[in-house]
Amino acid sequence: MSTPIIVGNWKMNGLNADSVDRVKQIIAGLTAEPVSGVEVVVCPPFTHLSLVHQTLNGSTVALGAQDCHKNDKGAHTGDIAPSMLRDVGTSHVILGHSERRRDHGEVDETVREKAVSAAQAGLTPIVCIGETEDQRQSGQTEDTLGWQIKGSLPDGFTGIVAYEPVWAIGTGLAATPDDIRTTVAFIRAELVRQFGDAGKSLRILYGGSVDAGNAASILSLPDVAGALVGGASLKPDAFLSIIRAVPTA
């Protein structure tokens, strides 16, 4: 069975002092009440990575980033190379989040190229897929997710897939457990169809308004190996509650 993982996506929030304080509270909570068998990753803004890495030193919490460029160097003003992320202690990187696709026009091919470069740099890519409300209402969820998997995941992909229905991100609306169960089962079948036996072991996370109140019901679902947490990850107590909601053997 794959190790569950809880990933906190802090998005564009806070200053260095805020991130350091948040990390210290998370570490203190996990020290006071240790949780075994669960990976924990926090993904602060780029400008906080180095300081957060220093704060995390010696803890069980890993450091992630929210994006990277497809190239390892070059004339790409304002972008960050995968090797630069590794250089400051990053082990994971979120790619293809719907906010990147929406705000920066990222397409599946771009996400796939970034996933290749991230893996080559030694990072674990967390690739996001998800349907919009219009796609959901028109019965296009499975077609949309199937094409995103095919287009965004490179051959030999060994990273993590995060299913985040776009209509549930930051809205307070989470998909129902039945919806998540059905959709994650489709994603698993599609991963196996496209990747063969390797698709059986790829971890699938759920994201989209995950909070302390719904985490237990979501994380107990078959094939849900963890969560990509947005707003609730900015609140240490809520984030710790989600981590503790992971069912462990």
* Active site amino acids: 97, 164
Confidence (pLDDT) at 249: 63
The annotation status of 13 as a binding-site residue, yes or no, is no
Q: Give the position of tokens 């991130």.
A: 19
Q: How many domains does the chain have?
A: 1
Report pTM. Answer: 0.96
User: What are the average pLDDT values for consecutive 10-residue runs of the chain, which has 249 residues?
Assistant: 93 98 98 96 98 96 98 97 98 97 96 98 98 92 96 97 90 84 97 96 95 95 96 98 91
In terms of Cα–Cα distance, which of 136, 154, 137 is closest to 145? 136
Show the domain range for 161: 5-244
Q: Do the domain assignments include residue 127?
A: yes
Q: Do the domain assignments include residue 80?
A: yes
Handedness of CA 39, 45, 49, 53 (dihedral sign): negative
Strands 5-9 and 61-65: unpaired
Q: Do the domain assignments include residue 132?
A: yes
Q: How far apart are the first and last CA of the chain?
A: 10
Long-range pairs, 106-114, Cβ under 8 A, ≥24:
107/151, 108/147, 108/148, 108/150, 108/151, 108/152, 109/151, 110/70, 111/151, 111/152, 112/151, 112/152, 112/153, 112/154, 113/70, 114/67, 114/68, 114/69, 114/70
Q: Do the domain assignments include residue 38?
A: yes
The annotation status of 11 as a binding-site residue, yes or no, is yes
Q: Most distant CA pair in the chain: distance in Å?
A: 49
Q: pLDDT by residue (tens digit) across 66-125?
A: 999 999 999 999 999 999 999 999 999 999 999 999 999 999 999 999 999 999 999 999
What CATH number does residue 107 fall under? 3.20.20.70
Confidence (pLDDT) at 216: 96
Q: Give the position of tokens 């036996």.
A: 197
The annotation status of 172 as a binding-site residue, yes or no, is no
Q: Do the domain assignments include residue 22?
A: yes
What does the alpha-carbon distance between residue 153 and residue 193 come to, in Å, rounded to a whole number? 13
Asked if 203 and 225 touch (Cβ cutoff 8 Å), the reply is yes
Confidence (pLDDT) at 2: 86
Q: Do the domain assignments include residue 114?
A: yes
Q: Do the domain assignments include residue 152?
A: yes
Confidence (pLDDT) at 1: 61
The annotation status of 9 as a binding-site residue, yes or no, is yes
Q: Do the domain assignments include residue 249?
A: no
